[in-house]
Amino acid sequence: MATALVILAAGKGTRMNSDLPKVLHPIAHASLLEHALIAGRALDPERVIVVAGHGADAVRAAVSEIDETAEVALQEEQLGTAHAVDQAREALQDFAGDVVVLYGDTPFVSAETLERMVAAREGADLVILGFEAADPARYGRLVMDGTSLERIVEFKDASAQEREISFCNSGLMACDAGQMFDLISKIGNENASGEYYLTDLVELARAEGRSVTAVACDESETLGVNSRLDLAGADATFQAKARKSLMELGVTLMAPETVYLAFDTVIGRDTVIEPNVVFGPGVTVESGALIRAFSHLEGCHVSRGAKIGPYARLRPGAELAEDTHVGNFVEIKNAEIAAGAKVNHLSYIGDASVGEKTNIGAGTITCNYDGVMKHRTEIGARSFIGSNTLLVAPISVGDEAMTATGTVVTRTVEDGDLAIGRTRQENKPGRARKLMDILRAKKVKISKEAK
């Protein structure tokens, strides 16, 4: 059976106190909306419709970056959840299959849960996702009769007995597209808010003799984000789960609570991560690497046996081969560091390639930017770049070549050559003392004049 996703993302999120639409706030470097889309991909949906409202242009731009095949429907007035889903009617008018309704501010529903909801559709016309709440509070209660869902009762309308029910409504549901939109057409707004509620589908479906059931998931999957406090809590939940997963897969986190992971971080077994390491998006670390404390990685690939940090920064496009060393206060950007090469101290290597077993001395800089364009630096294998070398790109240094300490390289260095480019040193006898006397006298004069 074909599946379509309808993701509700129209809310303003007033409690976020933000100009940014609520669903675009990030958890682990991915927006709430992207987390929902990632979960939905497990169903291999034929169609994806995101219903936008507040900040629709920003939401539309974000959707196109995340999934260019997804469509955006506009809910110009926020008149309730059923009204929101109804905005996808036109986009799905030629669709035959199941519609799964997700929420853009509920980021943690699992792929397994969504698959169970779709599987449950084989025995029921309408499937609701529920959860056992530790504190049911003001959630809507799911009143069950065996596996049949009798009704959803909102807290304010529930009897004392119904309020004792701990099986609660998450808001997610699955139904045949034709049946869903037919039922939505019959929903009224005779309530205090004057809105059209998707939960009314249960009562309407049962009135027509249709079967309704509920699938249960862990409460953590239904966590919604409505405030900055919720956002922080959701991020902490994600981090705790991601760290646990890595450790179970054989990664050592020396101080797990200090390591920050992105939604797509991949780390191989027997890698050791020291305290206070931050992973931005797009990072893959192979098995057996060492990431030392206070390093920051983003958009990079670190191969087996590499040693990174402490205090290293790997920026997008950094590609480190096996057994490379990138040490303290080194920044690598859009550069390939070949096997066994070392960049150990206080250096910047950008828009460059460094050959195998080459050593880059402390304070080396690839001068890659002329104010308008970026330029490449090519350094060969088994070369030695002396400390405080400035490589003015575009430039190339051959295999087994050397640069002397303090050299400014502006011309090609051929294989095996030694480049020396610095001015001759001259010592002026006694000039240091004379100069300091002049400067001290000047300072005294300035101080007296200031009084």
Active-site annotation, residues:
345
Cβ neighbors of 71 (< 8 A, separation 6 or more) are 47, 48, 49, 50, 91
Report the amino acid identity of residue 389: T
Length of the chain: 451
Instruction: For residue 127, list its beta bridge partners.
Output: 174, 213
Bond before 275 cis per omega within 30 degrees: no
Longest CA pairwise span in the chain (Å) = 105
CB 285 within 8 A of CB 268: yes
Show the tokens assigned to 401. 């070549």
| CA gyration radius, the chain | 31
Distance of CA 433 to the CA centre of its chain: 58
Asked if residue 348 lies in contact with residue 363, where contact means CB atoms within 8 angstroms, the answer is no
The phi, psi pair for 292, rounded to 5°, reads -80, 170
Outline where DSSP puts E strands in 298-403: 301-302, 307-308, 313-314, 319-320, 325-328, 331-337, 342-345, 348-354, 359-360, 365-367, 377-379, 384-385, 390-392, 395-397, 402-403
CA–CA separation, 20 vs 31, rounded Å? 11
At 168 the three-state DSSP class reads strand
Cβ proximity of 127 and 121 under 8 Å = yes
Rounded-to-integer distance, Cα 325 and Cα 340, Å:
7
